[in-house]
Structure 1
Amino acid sequence: MNSHFLNGHYRILKLLNDGEKGKTYLVEDVNLPGSQFLVKQLSPPSSNPQTLIILRRLFASKAATLEKLGQEHDKIQKLIAYFEEDEEFYIVQEFIPGNPLSDEIIQDQTLREDQVINLLTEILEILVIVHSYGMIHRDIKPTNIIRRESDKKLVLVNLGTSNEAITNTVENREYMPIEQVNGNLKYNSDIYALGIVAIAALLGLPANEISNLRSQKNRLTGEIVWRNKNLKVNRKLAKIINKMVRFDYRKRYQYATEVLDDLKKLKNVEHEQQKQDQKKLLLVLTGVAGCIALGIGAWQLRLPKAVSDAQQKLYQEGLNKYEAGNYEGAVEDFNQAIELDPQNALAYNKRGDAYYRLGDYEQAQADSSQAILLNPQDANAYFDRGFAFSELGKYKEAIADYTEAIKLNSENAYAYYGRGLARAQVKDNKGAIGDFSKAIALKPQYTEAYLQRGILRRRLRQRLGAIQDFDTVIKINPSDAKAYYQRGLTQSINKQKYAALKDYTDAININPKYIEAYLNRGDVYSDLGDKLEATEDYNTILQIDPKFVAAYIHRGIHRFSFGDYKGAIEDYTEALKLDPNNVAAYNNRGNAYLELGNKKAANQDYSRAIAINANNALAYYNRGVIRTKQKNKQGAIADFKKAAKLFQQQGEQDSYQDAQREIAILQNNFGSVPTTRPKSGKREKN
């Protein structure tokens, strides 16, 4: 082993790790005697030549960025070089003498609050730099944070981007938020993982105990409940950590700089705040006791103060429960605060937020309305009510509220984004694009706004602009699987099938469970005549989700295309077992029955499709084909006329012409069936 060389000049000194994703070696560069580095071998998931070409492109691009990042910042592990050997990818990294943070987080030995604050501050400062390069670490955990021996500073190692480009997986998912597991990676996915590390440090939880922490979730909201009676943590620090680990990334801190700002405020006011909290509690107790003891005159003097302090205490307790994910408990506290002070607009506002998280959008809307009534200048209340209206499908009302929020705070990019989504729902496409553009102008790194603008541009056939938007998302975040997928859809529409294949494959490499990407890649393979590749993609979907109806329908269409009509019927039948009212499955199964000569079964399926959806033009057209074969001239003409009318209304000009042609043939020469008539009906996808 010691005599083996990698890339001709890296002599292996020791095998440090032999995992599923690859091996890690301690090596010496023989050209630089005495120098030690880490070399990681990254095994690609497939040896398919096309896949390897895509992986090489991704690997080289991302590794080059990592190399530049490490060279410019000394608290980020340096990437020295990268190379490929025998279809295996390798990265050469700086070897950092020191101890991982996992050595400091030991069972039942908690770190002090000031140590945790310093830990958070150091790593967040590094993340600000990493994110500014458009990169996401992906795998923040104690073993990837090294306390450097030379200066005792924390160094972030193993930036996961190059690893992910090749392997698609992260070995330890315990620190990962749900959106990362689902392939919807965000910058604040790193913030979530760091928040979990902070909780582990405060509780004294080693890595093998993190799964227990993740299981302690609020039953209704899914938020982690980590604070207990035995753990005394500064309320403001707990609030910061709770916001770091929110289940919904939209409710989490969006940027590392935001967390740093709150930590800085905490450091500045920590001791003074503790004194103020003690005074507030004392005032509540003495004020209430005094009101009971004194007469009516004194009551009038002391009651307002006592009530005010009591309701403030309840409001703060409600906020704490809200931040901890206990939304039902928060509602109870806000209820009591409102009973003591019915004019408390903030309590209505936050209770509305809690109801929103509990899925009670009607009550969320009602509370936001009351908050607005009490304080018409509260931009956040309009913003919140806009979200509630959107969830209730009241898009016009949502637009009005977002507009009011923007009037009160014209710098709120999220309000423009929300209004853009609502405007898109009511087909105000121009207004929606304007809102997404404004959100981007306010937040140039706002990838979701670029993504939604790109989707809308594609729908409006502004395909070049759409591709530019998706390109921008990928530039900002090269690991955004959705951007590759959406660009692939646009390439497909542009008939750029091989470009679409590359994009779908990139999306799948980033998120191996991206069902929609498999589905569309399978369709492109099918169109190109790549029978085995298409079948493999549809089969993969059904391995991931055996109840995904569209996969059966698309595989059925694929089987039909190369003459496996019985196999197609099996797939459509499976789809109908899962969704008995699926018009596409009936329509397409009718086509397969027709090819097998079973006109009766075909006619029944087309008629069922029409019974489910009387406006399904394809079913009328296909039943017209059957009736023509059955010599039912009047019935066939009636079906083709209905199909033609519906095609015309739907803007399907080619299909409209097909139906008109069939009508002309039947009316002029019913006895002969021209060879141009399709052998079977038109197919339909979900």
Structure 2
Amino acid sequence: MNRFSQKISTLHSDLLTNSKLGQLCGSKTLFRDRYAILRILGRGGFGVTFLARNVSLPGHPLCVIKQLCPKVSSPRSWQKAKERFEKEAKTLGQLGNHSQIPMLLDYFEMGEEFFLVQEYVRGCTLTREVRRNGTLSEAAVKQFLHEILPVLQYVHKNHVIHRDIKPHNLLRCEDDGRLVLIDFGAVKEELALIGEIEEKTTATTNFVGTMGFAPPEQFSLRPVYSSDIYALGITCLYLLSGKAPLEFDYDTNTGEICWQKQLKVSEHFASVLDKMLKVSVRERFKSANEVMFALGMESHLPHLTNCLAIQPTEIQGKTNSFEDNYSSYLPPFARTAIAIREWKAKLKSRQSRRKSRPYSSLT
């Protein structure tokens, strides 16, 4: 066993000993008279995640139980934490109606801890996929964006910022191949804010997110919808290179990530990634819609290039109208508008000529 394995074993041993659910791992004692705790799935700064079975349901389906531990000590802070937890849990419940977001099955508090019970998605994270199969091509990364951007659009439409998009929080479902977005940071950030007030610490103490994937505004606990766009852009770099964000160089003056010399992608896709990764919120894509539109424009670029390359032709002995010169590449609605204007001009000319003719006298 190497040092790393020893550290993992020690960590799991500590969790099994000190956490409420950890003590139930592998035992016959049920949590809340229905959940058989199987093993630890992971640990973060705000709690521990366990794999469990709901033995009260037919088939004993697997589920995920997240044990969240807010840092509060006074009854007043606890009540405030409880209210925020319930509010955010209900929001997560609404998001779970989407097929690419795990369904929230239950939420409750017990003792001084909060618990979320979610659908278990059997699959592999994109981090593990890259480690197993190698980096993705540009076409595969574009396909990834086409799969995940509508999910992000749905999340933002429900007034939620994920706050922790990264390859580790994106699962490829083994059953049907769909991409699933997991581990929303909204609940964790609300509980972090309570702990911050309780301890009277600075805002950066309870930062929610992952170093390298989170943009600057998120460090000051002021995330916006485009913060998720930035994290998604960093995720694309990982999929293309296999490198963690902190392995890239950064411009010391602007803070922008310097990736262009290390990765070869098409000019158009490079411009899309650049705008996703802008440090300035003003220069970054504001929404998933904008990114999808920019990606979709690539298919129209050859036609636009042809339009710009075509020059008006002049036929000897004939004065060509605007429509004659440009009808070969103008869109139909523009040609129709020009035809209407020319028809109106001719009609007006005929009417003016009629008015200018003298009336014949009666004899």
Using the size of structure 2 for normalisation, the TM-score is 0.70
Alignment match of 1:199 (pick from 237, 250, 271) = 237
Q: In 2 relative to 1, CA 28–112 (structure 1 residues): closer, same or farther, beyond 3 Å?
A: same
- 1:597-651 Cα deviation digits (max 9, x unpaired): xxxxxxxxxxxxxxxxxxxxxxxxxxxxxxxxxxxxxxxxxxxxxxxxxxxxxxx
Alignment match of 2:300 (pick from 257, 261, 269) = 269
Conservation of the 8 A alpha-carbon contact between 2:207 and 2:219: no
Matched with 1:164 is 189
State the 1:18 CA deviation: 3.7
Matched with 2:94 is 68
Task: Trace 1:480-559 onto structure 2 (pairs within 5 A).
Answer: none
Task: Trace 1:216-295 onto structure 2 (pairs within 5 A).
Answer: 216-228=249-261, 231-266=263-298, 268-269=299-300, 272=302
Q: 5+ residue gaps in structure 1?
A: 281-686
Q: Percent identity?
A: 36
User: d(CA) in 1 for partners of 2:54 and 2:133?
Assistant: 42
User: d(CA) in 2 for partners of 1:183 and 1:110?
Assistant: 32
Matched with 2:213 is 175
User: d(CA) in 1 for partners of 2:42 and 2:30?
Assistant: 17
Q: In 2 relative to 1, CA 225–274 (structure 1 residues): closer, same or farther, beyond 3 Å?
A: farther
SS in 2 for 1:190: helix
Conservation of the 8 A alpha-carbon contact between 1:77 and 1:158: no
Q: In 2 relative to 1, CA 24–170 (structure 1 residues): closer, same or farther, beyond 3 Å?
A: same
Alignment match of 2:69 (pick from 36, 43, 56) = 43
Alignment match of 2:227 (pick from 186, 189, 200) = 189
> How many pairs were matched up?
269
Conservation of the 8 A alpha-carbon contact between 1:101 and 1:146: yes
User: d(CA) in 2 for partners of 1:162 and 1:273?
Assistant: 47
SS in 2 for 1:26: strand
State the 1:275 CA deviation: 8.7
- 1:526-584 Cα deviation digits (max 9, x unpaired): xxxxxxxxxxxxxxxxxxxxxxxxxxxxxxxxxxxxxxxxxxxxxxxxxxxxxxxxxxx
User: d(CA) in 2 for partners of 1:67 and 1:47?
Assistant: 28
Q: In 2 relative to 1, CA 73–239 (structure 1 residues): closer, same or farther, beyond 3 Å?
A: same
Q: Which amino acid aligns with 1:150?
A: D
Conservation of the 8 A alpha-carbon contact between 1:244 and 1:252: yes
Q: In 2 relative to 1, CA 44–4 (structure 1 residues): closer, same or farther, beyond 3 Å?
A: farther
State the 1:246 CA deviation: 0.5
Conservation of the 8 A alpha-carbon contact between 1:14 and 1:27: yes
Task: Trace 1:342-357 onto structure 2 (pairs within 5 A).
Answer: none
Q: Does 1:118 align with 2:140?
A: no
Matched with 1:14 is 39
Alignment match of 1:150 (pick from 175, 192, 197) = 175
State the 1:105 CA deviation: 2.6
Q: In 2 relative to 1, CA 59–108 (structure 1 residues): closer, same or farther, beyond 3 Å?
A: same
- 1:70-96 Cα deviation digits (max 9, x unpaired): 0x2111111111110111001011100
Q: In 2 relative to 1, CA 273–198 (structure 1 residues): closer, same or farther, beyond 3 Å?
A: farther
- 1:348-388 Cα deviation digits (max 9, x unpaired): xxxxxxxxxxxxxxxxxxxxxxxxxxxxxxxxxxxxxxxxx
Conservation of the 8 A alpha-carbon contact between 1:107 and 1:204: no
Using the size of structure 1 for normalisation, the TM-score is 0.38
Q: Which amino acid aligns with 1:62?
A: E
Matched with 2:108 is 83
Q: Does 1:141 align with 2:166?
A: yes
User: d(CA) in 2 for partners of 1:7 and 1:250?
Assistant: 48
Q: In 2 relative to 1, CA 138–115 (structure 1 residues): closer, same or farther, beyond 3 Å?
A: same
User: d(CA) in 2 for partners of 1:274 and 1:233?
Assistant: 21
Q: Which amino acid aligns with 1:103?
A: R
Conservation of the 8 A alpha-carbon contact between 1:116 and 1:198: yes
User: d(CA) in 2 for partners of 1:24 and 1:11?
Assistant: 14
- 1:190-211 Cα deviation digits (max 9, x unpaired): 0000000011112222xxx321
SS in 1 for 2:296: helix
State the 1:232 CA deviation: 2.1
Q: In 2 relative to 1, CA 185–191 (structure 1 residues): closer, same or farther, beyond 3 Å?
A: same
Conservation of the 8 A alpha-carbon contact between 1:180 and 1:189: yes
Conservation of the 8 A alpha-carbon contact between 2:250 and 2:257: yes
With CA pairs under 8 Å and 6+ residues apart, which has the higher RCO, 1 or 2?
2
Matched with 1:212 is 247
Matched with 1:374 is none
Conservation of the 8 A alpha-carbon contact between 1:38 and 1:95: yes
User: d(CA) in 2 for partners of 1:39 and 1:61?
Assistant: 18
Q: Which amino acid aligns with 1:50?
A: R
State the 1:248 CA deviation: 0.8
Matched with 2:117 is 92
User: d(CA) in 2 for partners of 1:93 and 1:108?
Assistant: 29
User: d(CA) in 2 for partners of 1:151 and 1:36?
Assistant: 17
Q: In 2 relative to 1, CA 202–171 (structure 1 residues): closer, same or farther, beyond 3 Å?
A: same
Conservation of the 8 A alpha-carbon contact between 1:7 and 1:83: no
SS in 2 for 1:219: coil
Conservation of the 8 A alpha-carbon contact between 2:135 and 2:242: yes
State the 1:269 CA deviation: 3.5
Q: Does 1:101 align with 2:126?
A: yes
State the 1:43 CA deviation: 0.3
User: d(CA) in 2 for partners of 1:236 and 1:148?
Assistant: 30
User: d(CA) in 1 for partners of 2:154 and 2:84?
Assistant: 21
Conservation of the 8 A alpha-carbon contact between 2:185 and 2:209: no
State the 1:107 CA deviation: 9.3
Conservation of the 8 A alpha-carbon contact between 2:207 and 2:221: no
- 1:48-105 Cα deviation digits (max 9, x unpaired): 21111111111101110111210x2111111111110111001011100111111233
Q: Which amino acid aligns with 1:224?
A: I
State the 1:164 CA deviation: 2.1
Q: Which amino acid aligns with 1:226?
A: W
Q: In 2 relative to 1, CA 21–212 (structure 1 residues): closer, same or farther, beyond 3 Å?
A: same
SS in 1 for 2:257: coil
After TM superposition, the runs of 4+ consecutive aligned structure 1 residues lying more than 4 A away are: 273-276
User: d(CA) in 2 for partners of 1:165 and 1:4?
Assistant: 32
Task: Trace 1:578-657 onto structure 2 (pairs within 5 A).
Answer: none
